[in-house]
């Protein structure tokens, strides 16, 4: 779907242009859970997931969509945030990245989307040496990808014969208004 491809590319560009610390961006396919089997990636990494929450049909194959955008931030580290930890600041840098990502998207508009706002924030279990959080957003977009195949039927040189005919009015079929002889 061309518009989702463009939406992803626009979101990826917002990250690469504004959060220099991010070393990898991709579509979400649970890469973090299968790191040994998946293509290796550098951390910190951002992954995007897209879901249609609602769709309103417009004319000629166009839809107005309400989209949920899940922005995952993966940060590979053995550092922890506990007070006095030797690498506390390194672990806290993760929280700074979450804030920068939110600044990229919350209350933003783009070429392929509008009215983006954050609706959720939660940790995701990784089972490994990394921190993974997802920030959820909703935005609106117009998807016109079906319009390319939509064909308005055009009739050229059509002849129509019109026959004028007098149709008698129906009689009182219900006997509702008949006067009774009683």
How far apart (Å, rounded) are the C-alpha atoms in residues 52 and 69?
A: 9
> How confident is the model over 41-91, as pLDDT tens digits?
888 999 999 999 999 999 888 999 999 999 999 987 766 777 777 777 877
Average pLDDT over residues 32-39: 64
pTM of the model: 0.76
pLDDT (tens digit per residue) in 87-128 = 778 778 888 999 999 999 999 999 999 999 999 999 998 766
The pair of three-digit structure tokens given for residue 74, joined into one six-digit string: 């993966």
pLDDT band per the 50, 70, 90 thresholds, residue 35: low
Closest CA to 24 of 156, 168, 162, 130: 130
Q: Give the Cα separation of 129 and 173 in Å (integer).
A: 84
Contact 68, 51 (CB under 8 A): yes
């Amino acid at each position: 779907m061309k518009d989702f491809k463009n939406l992803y590319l626009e979101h990826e560009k917002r990250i690469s242009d504004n959060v220099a610390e991010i070393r990898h961006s991709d579509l979400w396919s649970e890469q973090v859970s299968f790191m040994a089997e998946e293509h290796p990636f550098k951390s910190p990494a951002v992954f995007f997931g897209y879901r249609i929450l609602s769709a309103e049909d417009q004319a000629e194959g166009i839809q107005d969509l309400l989209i949920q955008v899940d922005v995952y931030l993966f940060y590979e580290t053995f550092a922890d945030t506990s007070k006095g930890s030797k690498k506390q600041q390194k672990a806290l840098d993760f929280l700074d990245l979450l804030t920068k990502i939110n600044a990229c998207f919350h209350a933003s508009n783009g070429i392929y989307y509008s009215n983006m706002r954050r609706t959720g924030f939660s940790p995701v279990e990784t089972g490994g040496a990394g921190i993974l959080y997802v920030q959820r957003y909703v935005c609106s977009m117009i998807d016109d990808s079906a319009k390319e195949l939509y064909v308005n039927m055009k009739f050229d040189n059509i002849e129509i014969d019109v026959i004028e005919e007098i149709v008698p009015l129906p009689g009182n079929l219900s006997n509702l208004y008949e006067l009774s002889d009683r």
